[in-house]
Amino acid sequence: MKLVNFRDVRHIKFDFVKHRKKYFIASGFIILLGLLSLLIFGLNLGIDFVSGTRVEIFIGQAFDEGEIIKELKGINLEPKSVVTAGAENDRAVLRYDKTLQKEEIAQIRGLYTEKFGEKVDVSASTVDPTISRELAWKAFYSVLIASIGIILYVTIRFEFRFAVSAIVALLHDAFMVIAFFSIFQLEVDLPFIAAVLTIVGYSINDTIVIFDRIRENLKYAKVKKVEDVENVVNNSIKQTLARSINTVLTVLFAAVALFILGGEGIRNFSLALLIGLISGAYSSIFIASQLWLTWKGKDMERAKFRSAS
């Protein structure tokens, strides 16, 4: 794979800061869609967060989902949903909102062993309501603690404006993933939370690189008006653009491989990772630094107005 050449990218003519309002409008539109989806459809929470039982049945051959539901209905164990899985569509994943007893799982095993033979394998995982509530709160605290840690670090290392801009960009990335899962009603489970935390950690890395370059360039720039800051931000993005593209491309290849070859168990994790990586690359370049620039520009104008009056 040929990586992006640093010298070529530094000399591109594109003005990254000139169209920042368009980036904000585009992101705002997607966020609005996500909010509407959350209000109307909500999230398809997995048993990790709402309690219940997940039953995975290896059947060993392709099957009809309608037939599966009909047979389970016959023994009064109709699931909330049935999903076909496996490389050859030979695996059924059943989801129940209630906790199944051992006898009921044995009943399901007996039903399919009788129909498809001894090769049938049934595995079940159950989460009770207390544990699911605990997991949901721990997931929330994880994101909260990560955000506070990032604000503190960036404020100490850089300045408060950089910290807030970075956090807004991170929340933007996390929300993009949540909105995508809400719109397409994909199951949200614990691996999904792990993916969101991974995105938070990865996305801040790219943003910090750009912020660091802005800070360095500000030391040598003669900043007297907002246009001077715009030039600094524009040049800083160009100077780090090749690094950002190459980094995200290499990680994306790994995430795509994980999505294709990783199996059904981590399919949602790798998909969330893919969406978050793309959003993270976008927000680092088009949102975080532009937010800081807008904020900085407003502060400079206010300071100029105060000194004039």
pTM of the predicted model as reported, rounded to 2 decimal places: 0.78
Instruction: Pick out the chain residues at pLDDT < 50.
Output: none
Is 204 within 8 Å of 279 (Cβ atoms)?
Answer: no
Residue 9 pLDDT: 59
Q: Per residue, what are the HEC states of 113-171?
A: HHHHCCCCEEEEEEECHHHHHHHHHHHHHHHHHHHHHHHHHHHHHCCHHHHHHHHHHHH
Q: What are phi and psi of 29, to 5 degrees?
A: -65, -45
Q: What are phi and psi of 102, to 5 degrees?
A: -60, -40
Residue 176 pLDDT: 93
Residue 61 pLDDT: 78
pLDDT tens digits, one per residue of 123-155: 888 776 677 677 778 877 877 887 788 778 877
Q: What are phi and psi of 45, to 5 degrees?
A: -75, 135
Cα 211 to Cα 112, 207, 246, 279: the distances in Å are: 58, 6, 18, 18
Q: What are phi and psi of 28, to 5 degrees?
A: -60, -40
Residue 145 pLDDT: 84
Residue 3 pLDDT: 52
What residue has token string 């990218």?
9
pLDDT tens digits, one per residue of 174-224: 899 999 999 998 888 878 888 888 887 787 888 888 999 999 999 888 878
